[in-house]
Amino acid sequence: MQIAEVVKYLVLGVVLTAGACGAAGGAIRVIDGDTLEVSGESIRLWGINAPEGGQRCERAALSRLVSGRAVRCKARYEDRYGRAVARCFTGKVDLGGELMRQGWALDYERYSEGHYRQDQAEAKAEGRGLWSGEFEPPWQWRHHSSKP
């Protein structure tokens, strides 16, 4: 996807069937806990990092948030994989922020500059989502899984 401007709006009509692991149909597909595919274009949610598809089946949380709702994304930039990195919303709900509040994502401070820090602290303190047990942060899992 070519982003002509730093800020670009994508208004996406969504029809999604959320299954146990985020199986989807229609114009949108949940790839993993922080990535959507819309009409063949990948969109990575800005500022958060959620478990990878092979790590744990946590994409169901994102599927529940977008199921049957219109999604609006404001692209910030394109990443090295050619995906738009965007803040996405259903109505006034910031998908990244809601995943943080539910405990299904981590604040990716390298990019968010702590934007979701408070949401993460509250989810952790209350033992929500990932914080209800032990887990390996996605960036550590990616590092370990890439070794032979």
For residue 81, tell me if it sits in a domain. yes
For residue 3, tell me if it sits in a domain. no
Give the domain CATH number at 92. Answer: 2.40.50.90
Burial class for 82, CB neighbours closer than 10 Å (0-12, 13-18, 19+): exposed
- Residues 108, 49 contacting (CB under 8 angstroms): yes
pLDDT digits (tens, 9 = 90+) for 56-84: 656 789 999 998 888 889 999 999 989 99
Q: Which two tokens stand for residue 130?
A: 């990932």
For residue 47, tell me if it sits in a domain. yes
Closest CA to 46 of 16, 17, 6: 6
Domain span at residue 98 reads: 8-145
For residue 109, tell me if it sits in a domain. yes
Where does the pLDDT of residue 114 fall: very low under 50, low under 70, confident under 90, or very high at 90 and above?
very high
d(CA 27, CA 15): 7
For residue 1, tell me if it sits in a domain. no
d(CA 89, CA 99): 12
For residue 48, tell me if it sits in a domain. yes
**How crowded is residue 15: how many other Cβ atoms within 10 Å of its Cβ?**
14
**How crowded is residue 11: how many other Cβ atoms within 10 Å of its Cβ?**
8
Q: How far is CA 39 from the centre of its chain?
A: 17
pTM for the full predicted model: 0.76
Q: Which two tokens stand for residue 140?
A: 């550590």
- Residues 65, 95 contacting (CB under 8 angstroms): yes
Please state whether beta strands 41-45 and 71-78 pair in parallel, antiparallel, or not at all (unpaired): unpaired
pLDDT (0 to 100) of residue 17: 30
> How many domains does the structure of the chain reveal?
1
- Residues 86, 44 contacting (CB under 8 angstroms): yes
For residue 2, tell me if it sits in a domain. no
- Average of per-residue pLDDT across 24-52: 82
